[in-house]
């Protein structure tokens, strides 16, 4: 890896946004008040909003003009992956770290990211801790295993090479710019586009896997911490069902050439879940039946995932099943 000269930009902060001016201000403010000197980093805001220039003038404070290291970019082509690729192309630092527009970085966030890259010369990916800001109280049906869907990350311990099971979230993830360019950036076939009607994902996972295949290490840096808003609209069973169906879609697209989906296991799980219901509900409506039990809801989500995958694959029955 190359290193920047003293006083030059070492790391680029990228905040990609789409009609989120109500929360964007806090994200930018937190990024502008880091423990490292402003000369060592830049802030790139990539605004994908429709009519962004007009909305920016109406919604964003003039105080942005006082942030000397801020570059506010209007990007007409929508899509989170595209916005991230635009930021990567513009980045002047050796590293680029992505911060969600509804996240608030701790004052030592960038210090933690840079320390992780410095401690591990082969680091290509650094993921930090993400604590939730609950807009409403956490629901009783929300199991701990579901926290990842709202980008809560806390693996404990200190800075280290991440275990295979320790995933990162896009709300707080950094990359070597050189490495990110080597793997071609983020796939525009994956990731969110627009106002969230589509919940496509897996764009970060694909990049991370490609970088690891090239020999880059994945580092967990809990000191690189941010707080992330968990909106009320995401704390509904309906949102989780939708999110699960889109996850199946994302997995099928990403893994189209990988190990095939286990159809027999998926059929078994869907059948078992439906059979566990009361007699009048032993049909497709079991997939959207409300329950307060977190374990049962997890099972329901698993059945929704399998049912979606089977439909996408064109499943028409197993002989003898």
Q: What pLDDT digit, counting tens, does each position of 59-89 carry?
A: 565 667 789 899 999 988 888 889 999 999 9
pTM assigned to the model: 0.85
The H or E element that residue 101 is part of is none
Instruction: Give the pair of three-digit tokens for residue 263.
Output: 């159809």
Instruction: Give the pair of three-digit tokens for residue 252.
Output: 């099928």
Q: Looking up tokens 């650094």, which residue turns up?
A: 126
Average pLDDT (228-252) is: 90
CA 124 to the chain's CA centroid: 17
pLDDT at 140: 94
Residue 170 pLDDT exceeds 80: yes
The ranges of the chain annotated as CATH 3.90.550.10 are 11-234
Q: Other CB atoms closer than 10 Å to residue 96's CB: what's the count?
A: 24
Distance, in Å, from the CA atom of 247 to the CA atom of 289, rounded to the nearest integer, reads: 20
Q: At the fourth CATH level, which superfamily is domain 11-234?
A: Spore Coat Polysaccharide Biosynthesis Protein SpsA; Chain A (3.90.550.10)
Distance, in Å, from the CA atom of 208 to the CA atom of 64, rounded to the nearest integer, reads: 33
Q: Looking up tokens 């506010």, which residue turns up?
A: 72
> What digits encode the pLDDT tens for the residues 7-25?
589 999 999 998 888 899 9
Instruction: Give the pair of three-digit tokens for residue 225.
Output: 């911490």
From the list 256, 230, 268, 229, the residue with the least C-alpha distance to 312 is 256
List Cα–Cα distances, 189 to 157, 198, 200, 202, 232, in angstroms.
35, 12, 9, 10, 28
From the list 240, 232, 231, the residue with the least C-alpha distance to 300 is 240
Q: Other CB atoms closer than 10 Å to residue 18's CB: what's the count?
A: 22
In terms of pLDDT, which residue wins out, 134 or 6?
Answer: 134
Q: Other CB atoms closer than 10 Å to residue 131's CB: what's the count?
A: 15
Average pLDDT (112-117) is: 98
CA 200 to the chain's CA centroid: 10
List Cα–Cα distances, 120 to 110, 164, 204, in angstroms.
16, 17, 20
CA 220 to the chain's CA centroid: 15
The mean predicted confidence, pLDDT, of the chain is 87
* Position 192 confidence tier, pLDDT thresholds 50, 70, 90: very low
> What digits encode the pLDDT tens for the residues 128-166?
999 999 999 999 999 999 998 899 999 999 999 999 999
């Amino acid at each position: 890896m190359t290193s920047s000269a003293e006083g030059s930009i070492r790391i680029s902060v990228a905040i990609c946004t789409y009609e989120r001016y109500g929360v964007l201000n806090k994200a930018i403010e937190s990024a502008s008040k880091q423990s490292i000197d402003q000369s060592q980093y830049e802030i790139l805001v990539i605004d994908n909003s429709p009519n962004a220039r007009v909305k920016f003038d109406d919604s964003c404070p003039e105080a942005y003009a006082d942030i000397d290291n801020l570059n506010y970019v209007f990007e007409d082509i929508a899509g989170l992956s595209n916005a991230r690729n635009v930021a990567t192309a513009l980045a002047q630092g050796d590293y680029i770290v992505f911060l969600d527009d509804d996240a608030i970085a701790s004052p030592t966030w960038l210090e933690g990211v840079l320390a992780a890259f410095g401690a591990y010369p082969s680091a290509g990916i650094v993921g930090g801790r993400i604590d939730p800001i609950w807009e409403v109280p956490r629901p009783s049906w929300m199991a701990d295993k579901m926290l990842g869907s709202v980008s809560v990350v806390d693996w404990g311990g200190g800075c280290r090479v991440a275990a295979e099971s320790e995933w990162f979230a896009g709300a707080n993830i950094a990359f070597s710019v050189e490495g990110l360019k080597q793997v071609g950036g983020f796939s525009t076939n994956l990731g969110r586009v627009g106002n969230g009607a589509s919940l496509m994902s897996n764009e970060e996972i694909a990049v991370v896997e490609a970088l690891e295949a090239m020999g880059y290490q994945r580092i967990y840096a809990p000191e690189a911490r941010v707080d992330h808003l968990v909106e009320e609209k995401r704390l509904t069973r309906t949102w989780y069902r939708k999110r699960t169906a889109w996850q199946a879609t994302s997995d099928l697209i990403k893994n189209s050439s990988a190990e095939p989906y286990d159809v027999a296991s998926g059929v078994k799980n869907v059948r078992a879940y439906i059979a566990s219901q009361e007699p009048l509900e032993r049909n497709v409506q079991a997939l959207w039946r409300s329950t307060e039990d977190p374990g049962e809801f997890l099972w329901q989500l698993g059945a929704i995932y399998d049912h979606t995958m089977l439909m996408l694959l064109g499943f028409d029955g197993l002989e003898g099943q």
